[in-house]
């Protein structure tokens, strides 16, 4: 809040902002604490090695990470798959659907290739979910010249950036009770959050809390 006000030319301090928020009964919505979540892939699928741990991320479009989350609506579940640039934290590709089939993550990956400007991407990291270990997904990565990396079994901390994003999304972009009235409402609200706020205007502590994703990418180039 302080950084946003300063960017708009308002001289203020953290104590003053906290006091005014308290007087006006304004409270921030806090993210839920991070809790490990695991996704088990098919037993027959051979997991890719965890290359991310040995990779130093120094530029945009070098490492992508992917994950899936559930979206609750009064009409039933939706599933959101995202592809994040690990350096900028930008969601470069995403898809939402009513099925957890491999098509969900394939569409998110396809959408990401429309956004990426360079061919520097060398790594795609995810958990061992069956969608990411499927032959179709691996074939698509191979066709793009991208190396696959997977977290160790039952260990999700390598993919913490995506987990943190999902927590942020559900805190800032979901209804207070966490359930949308309809699938259509969920699709519209998630689109609006990602395309008109998160990727363009939201500040990120991982980016020194000053630059948005798109601005950071332009600055880095």
* Whole-angstrom Cα Rg for the chain: 18
Domain of 100, CATH number, reads 3.30.420.10
Helix (H, G, I), strand (E, B) or coil at 211: coil
25 and 79 belong to one structural domain: no
23 and 111 belong to one structural domain: no
11 and 58 belong to one structural domain: no
1 and 65 belong to one structural domain: no
Least confident of 79-83, 127-131, 204-208: 204-208
79 and 150 belong to one structural domain: yes
Instruction: Report whether 209 contacts 3 (CB < 8 A).
Output: yes
23 and 115 belong to one structural domain: no
Ordered DSSP codes for 144-161? HTPEEEEPPTT--GGGHH
Least confident of 55-69, 157-171, 195-209: 195-209
105 and 23 belong to one structural domain: no
- Which residues in 151-171 are b (16+ Cβ under 10 Å) and which e? beeeebebbebbbbbbbbbbe
Instruction: Report whether 126 contacts 158 (CB < 8 A).
Output: no
Confidence check: pLDDT of 34 > 50: no
Residue at 39 is within a domain = no
Residue at 130 is within a domain = yes
136 and 208 belong to one structural domain: yes
Residue at 41 is within a domain = no
Residue 12's domain spans which residues?
A: 1-29
Q: Comparing 24 with 84, which gets the higher pLDDT?
A: 84
Confidence check: pLDDT of 53 > 90: no
Convert the pLDDT of each residue in 86-119 to its tens digit: 998 999 999 999 999 999 999 999 999 877 776 5
Residue at 94 is within a domain = yes
Instruction: Report whether 14 contacts 20 (CB < 8 A).
Output: no
Confidence of residue 12 (pLDDT cuts 50, 70, 90): confident
Helix (H, G, I), strand (E, B) or coil at 55: coil
Residue at 42 is within a domain = no
**Domain count across the chain:** 2
Residue at 117 is within a domain = yes
Residue at 212 is within a domain = yes
24 and 57 belong to one structural domain: no
66 and 107 belong to one structural domain: yes
Tokens of 34: 């991070």
Convert the pLDDT of each residue in 128-149 to its tens digit: 999 999 999 999 999 988 999 9
75 and 182 belong to one structural domain: yes
25 and 56 belong to one structural domain: no
What's the whole-number average pLDDT of the chain? 82
pLDDT of residue 13: 78
Confidence check: pLDDT of 39 > 70: no
Confidence check: pLDDT of 182 > 90: yes
């Amino acid at each position: 809040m302080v950084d946003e006000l300063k960017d708009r030319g308002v001289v203020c301090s953290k104590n003053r902002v906290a006091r005014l928020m308290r007087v006006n009964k304004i409270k921030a919505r806090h993210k839920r604490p991070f809790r490990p979540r695991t996704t088990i892939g098919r037993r027959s699928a051979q997991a890719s090695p965890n290359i991310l741990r040995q990779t130093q991320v120094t530029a945009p479009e070098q490492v992508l990470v992917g994950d899936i989350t559930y979206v609750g609506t009064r009409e039933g579940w939706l599933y959101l798959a995202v592809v994040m640039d690990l350096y900028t934290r930008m969601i470069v590709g995403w898809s939402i659907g009513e099925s957890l089939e491999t098509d969900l993550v394939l569409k998110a990956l396809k959408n990401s290739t429309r956004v990426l400007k360079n061919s520097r991407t060398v790594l795609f990291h995810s958990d061992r979910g069956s969608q990411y270990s499927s032959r179709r997904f691996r074939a698509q990565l191979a066709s793009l010249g991208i190396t696959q990396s997977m977290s160790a079994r039952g260990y999700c901390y390598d993919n913490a950036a995506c987990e943190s994003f999902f927590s942020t999304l559900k805190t800032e972009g979901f209804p207070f009770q966490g359930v949308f009235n309809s699938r259509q409402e969920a699709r519209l609200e998630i689109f609006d959050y990602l395309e008109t706020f998160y990727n363009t205007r939201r500040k990120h502590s991982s980016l020194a809390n000053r630059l948005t994703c798109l601005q950071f990418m332009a600055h880095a180039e």
